[in-house]
Structure formats: structure tokens, C-alpha cells
Amino acid sequence: MKYIFIIQGEGRGHMTQAISLFHILKGNGHDVSHVIVGKSKRRELPQFFIDRIDSPIVQLESPNFVTDKNDRSVNVFRTLTSNLGKYKTFLQSINQIDEIVQKEQPDAIINFYDFLGGLYFMFKKPKVRHIVLAHQFLLSHSSFTFPKGRIYDKPSLLFGNKLAGYKADKILGLSFQRMNDEPQKKLFVVPPLLREQVKSQPISHGDHFLVYMVNHGYSEEVMKFHQQHPEVPIHCFWDKKGEPEELRIDDTLTFHQLDDEKFIRFMASCRGYLTTAGFESVCEAMYLGKPVLMVPVKGHYEQSCNAEDAKKAGAGVSSEFFDLEILLAYLPKHIDVGDDFREWCNTTSETFLNHLTYAD
């Protein structure tokens, strides 16, 4: 079968999921003819993604979140007004997608939660299967537990799901743990799409902490902790433009540009992991048996939902503060759920091939 991927370009999670699914499909004789990535002025397409995708990659302007001036929290008003002001640009992107689809005639488009994919099906109404894939879609499950408060954010996030999943033939909700399918909603619960590098990585127990910050404004908190605890080794990963591949502050604090192999090596040997509450890297930490402190990006309700779901699955603890002190205090209480989680993840290839290579 032939597929086209459309991938949200914010953060690394959707891209690493796409890499994993790309190799599952290609390894089983299927073709991914094009990979379309929504681009952002704030971020560059990581080299690890380019290196691991051997099909044509096309970057198109796509709706993105807008953060505050310190690059720490999502500014909801500016996100709405900025994206509405670019509607002509997005229409051009939709037309470019249509040109690729008309030329390639794929059996299905797999959309990794990019709103552009939903808009394409809304405006162009192509006669091709639309399969959507993300942890966000699990929020429609009847058993999903939402964080308390912020009652006005829930409808807006569910609206985002409707937009990204517009006219979807099948909705695949990535999950930290097994849950029942809800076929009446076209919703099917699937395991995480972890890369083989994660599954094959030797696990050890070093003395350093690993930090991943999707917004580099959190570096201030890391520096503050480092000044108070200079004896604690910390390795941070970010994608701040203009910084070198490795910014070594001193013997115990280093900032690294995103590098998937290096990141996984540091995770497999760390004491604990501090991150904004994205889905993918929390799954990687669970697979490798590492305690996690999740700090949802302020104003990013989706990440608050991720953190609540991950805590229920035993990943770790959450906080409003990007503070390694909280992770240090949590370490003695953590119960490793790695065995159960690895068993769930080992069903990934079979599950996705069943969902994607049949017409049901």
C-alpha cells in the first residue's frame, strides 16, 4: 500500500512517532511516498528526522502555537489571531498537499495531528482514506481522566481534535496503557510508537539528570537549581537557534541541541527525567524505567491532560514548576512500571499493521 504522512512540526514527539511508523511500514513492504511536515519559524527540522526518513520531505506553513516573549507559555489570544491572519498562506499549503496527493494517488493519508491535514480534507474533500494518529485523540475516550479546573480549555482542545481529525476514517489514540476500543467513535487505542533505538538501548543507572525543554525559557530554572546544587550533573536538550551543538556551562551542566541518539543514551543512564509534558519522551522514559517530572507548558491544556494520564499510568509526578528539587524528593517513592509498559509496547508493529493495511 502507498501512504502520505502529514506531521505536526511542533516539538519532537510527532516526528519520532512518524519515524517509527515509517520504518514499520517500509519494513513490511509498503511505501511512504511523501512526508509533509508543518513548519514553524521558531523551529528548524531536526537533522535526526531528515537522516531517518528516506522519502521526499516537504515542509509547508501550518498553524502553530504562539508563545510569550520569554518562550515559556502559550499565548492563546495571539495563537488565534496569528493563525487567522495567515489563512491565505495556509490555503497555499492546502493546494500544495492536493498537488502531491493527485500525483501520488495514495491509499491513505496518515495525519500526525497537524491541523493542516484536517483543513485539507475540509476544503478539498479528497477521495482517499484519512487516518489520524496522536495521544490527543485519546481525550475522546469515555475513560479518560481530565485535570481539575480550566473547564473552558477542554472544549477548545476537543475542537482541535475535531479539526485535526476532520473526516477521519479511523482514529488511533496512542496510550500509556491498555484501554478498550470505542469503534462507535472510530476510536482505537494503540500502543506508543517508540523507535527501535529506544527498545534496544542498554539500561544503566548513572548519577546525572536529563532535561528536555521544548521552550528554552525554562533554562533559567535549570540554571537556578544548578547554582544551588553544582554537584548534581545535568544534561539538557533544547532546540534554541543560534546555540552550538554542545553548550558546556561547566563540569556538571551542559546544554545539547536535539540529537536523538545522544538523547536516548543519556536517558537510558539517567537518575530521572524532567520535561514539559509531551507524550513521546515520557513513553521513552517509562520504557527505560526512569522516573519523570512533568511540567505542562503554561496555557497548554493538552500537556496538562498528558501529565494527568501519565501519572495514572505510573510514569511519575507533575508540577507547575520546572524544578529538579521536586524530582529529587520524588525518587524514593517511585515504583517502576517498566515491565508492564514494555509488554504493551512490544505489540506495536502488529497492532499498527492490522489497523493500517486493511480497509476496515
Question: Using CA atoms, how far apart are residues 313 and 18, in angstroms rounded to an integer?
Answer: 23
Specify the higher pLDDT residue, 298 or 60: 60
- Owning domain of residue 98: 2-191+346-356
Residue 95 in this model has a pLDDT that exceeds 90: yes
Residue 165 in this model has a pLDDT that exceeds 90: yes
Question: Using CA atoms, how far apart are residues 67 and 347, in angstroms rounded to an integer?
Answer: 37
Are residues 186 and 57 both part of a single domain?
A: yes
pLDDT digits (tens, 9 = 90+) for 238-260: 888 889 999 999 999 999 998 88
User: Nine-digit cell at 224?
Assistant: 537556578
Helix, strand, coil distribution of the chain in percent, nearest 5: 40, 20, 35
**Of all residues in the chain, what percent carry a pLDDT higher than 90?**
70
Residue 77's Cβ-count burial label (10 Å; 0-12, 13-18, 19+) is: exposed
Listed range (34-43, 264-273, 284-293) with the worst mean pLDDT: 34-43
Looking at every residue in the chain, the average pLDDT score rounds to 90
Are residues 210 and 183 both part of a single domain?
A: no
Per-residue pLDDT band at 76 (split at 50, 70, 90): low
CATH code, domain with 261: 3.40.50.2000
Question: Using CA atoms, how far apart are residues 293 and 331, in angstroms rounded to an integer?
Answer: 10
Q: What is the mean pLDDT of residues 65-74?
A: 55
User: Nine-digit cell at 350?
Assistant: 502488529
pLDDT of 48: 86
pLDDT of 298: 80
pTM score, whole prediction: 0.86
Are residues 95 and 153 both part of a single domain?
A: yes
Are residues 65 and 172 both part of a single domain?
A: yes
Listed range (10-14, 62-66, 319-323) with the worst mean pLDDT: 62-66
pLDDT digits (tens, 9 = 90+) for 345-359: 999 999 999 999 865
If you write DSSP's letter for every residue of 138-186 in order, what string do you get? GGGSTTPPPPSS-TTHHHHHHHHHHHHTTT-SEEEEE-SS----BGGGT
pLDDT of 41: 67
Q: What is the mean pLDDT of residues 277-297?
A: 93
Are residues 14 and 123 both part of a single domain?
A: yes
Are residues 303 and 166 both part of a single domain?
A: no
pLDDT of 73: 47
Structurally, the chain folds into a number of domains equal to 2
Q: What is the mean pLDDT of residues 121-128?
A: 96
pLDDT of 89: 87
Query: Which element (helix H / strand E) includes 131?
Result: strand 129-134
Are residues 85 and 227 both part of a single domain?
A: no
pLDDT digits (tens, 9 = 90+) for 131-159: 999 999 999 999 998 888 777 778 878 88
Q: Which residues, in sequence order, are CB contacts of 59 under 8 Å at separation 6+?
A: 9, 36, 37, 38, 39, 45
Mean pLDDT: which of 188-192, 221-225, 299-303 is highest? 188-192
Are residues 157 and 38 both part of a single domain?
A: yes
User: Nine-digit cell at 267?
Assistant: 536517558
The 10 Å CB-count burial string (b at 16+, else e) for 230-254 is eebbbbbbbbbeeeeeeeeeeebbb
Are residues 34 and 179 both part of a single domain?
A: yes
Residue 77 in this model has a pLDDT that exceeds 90: no
Q: What is the mean pLDDT of residues 49-67?
A: 86
